Amino acid sequence: MTSVPPMAVEQPPIFHVEAERTPLQEAVASELGEGLASSGFLVLPSQMEGFVQTGEPKESVEVVNFGTGKKPCPTPVTVRTVPGALVAPDAAPMVCPCCGGAMERHGEVAVTLWHLPMGMDRTRVVVSRQRWACASGHTRIDDVPFKAEGHRVTVPLLNYVRDLLSLGQTLKSVSLMTGLHKNVVKEIDRARLEGLYTEVGEDGGRRLRRPGDQARYLGIDEFKLHDGHRYATVVVDLETGHVLWLAHGKRKQVVYDFCDFVGDEWMSRVVAVACDMNASYERAFLERHPHLAVVYDHFHLVKNFNEKVISEVRKDEQRRLREEGDEDAAKSLKGSKYILMTRADTRLGKDRDARAGKVVSRGNELFGKDEARQRGGNRERYEELIAQNELLSTCDIVKEALAKAYAYRQEKRMRDCMEGIVEVCRGTGNEHFEWFANLVEGHMDGIVAHARHRISSGKVEGTNNTIKSLRRAGYGYPDDEYFFLKIFDASRRYSPGRESVAA
Task: Give contact residues for Zn ion (rule: CB under 5 A).
Answer: 96, 98-99, 101, 134, 136, 138
Given the complex with Zn ion, which of 47 and 139 has the nearer CB atom? 139
Chain centre to alpha carbon of residue 75:
29
Residue 108 corresponds to which amino acid? E
For 266, residues 6+ apart whose C-beta sits below 8 A from its C-beta are 210, 211, 214
Shortest distance, CB of residue 131 to Zn ion, whole angstroms? 13
Shortest distance, CB of residue 64 to Zn ion, whole angstroms? 45
Given the complex with Zn ion, which of 103 and 385 has the nearer CB atom? 103
Three-class DSSP labels, 321-389: HHHCCCHHHHHHHHCCHHHHHCCHHHHHHHHHHHHCCCEEECCECCCCECCEECCCCHHHHHHHHHHCC
b/e per residue 251-265 (b: at least 16 CB within 10 A)? bbebbeebbebbeee
> Which residues sit opposite 372 in a β-bridge?
361
Shortest distance, CB of residue 85 to Zn ion, whole angstroms? 24
Shortest distance, CB of residue 134 to Zn ion, whole angstroms? 3
Please tell me the distance from the alpha carbon of residue 447 to that of residue 296, in angstroms, as a whole number: 5
Given the complex with Zn ion, which of 139 and 280 has the nearer CB atom? 139
Given the complex with Zn ion, which of 136 and 361 has the nearer CB atom? 136
Q: What sign results for the dihedral spanned by CA atoms 267, 293, 399, 413? A: negative
Per DSSP, helices labelled H in 35-112 are none
Please tell me the distance from the alpha carbon of residue 386 to that of residue 340, in angstroms, as a whole number: 9
Given the complex with Zn ion, which of 104 and 327 has the nearer CB atom? 104
Given the complex with Zn ion, which of 137 and 204 has the nearer CB atom? 137
| Interstrand relation of 103-118 and 51-53 (parallel, antiparallel or unpaired) | unpaired
Shortest distance, CB of residue 102 to Zn ion, whole angstroms? 9
Shortest distance, CB of residue 175 to Zn ion, whole angstroms? 42
Burial of 218: CB neighbours in 10 Å, binned 0-12, 13-18, 19+? buried
Shortest distance, CB of residue 98 to Zn ion, whole angstroms? 4
Please tell me the distance from the alpha carbon of residue 34 to that of residue 411, in angstroms, as a whole number: 83
Given the complex with Zn ion, which of 140 and 453 has the nearer CB atom? 140
SS3 159: helix
Is residue 425 a contact partner of residue 434, using CB atoms and an 8 Å limit? yes
Shortest distance, CB of residue 90 to Zn ion, whole angstroms? 19
Given the complex with Zn ion, which of 139 and 311 has the nearer CB atom? 139
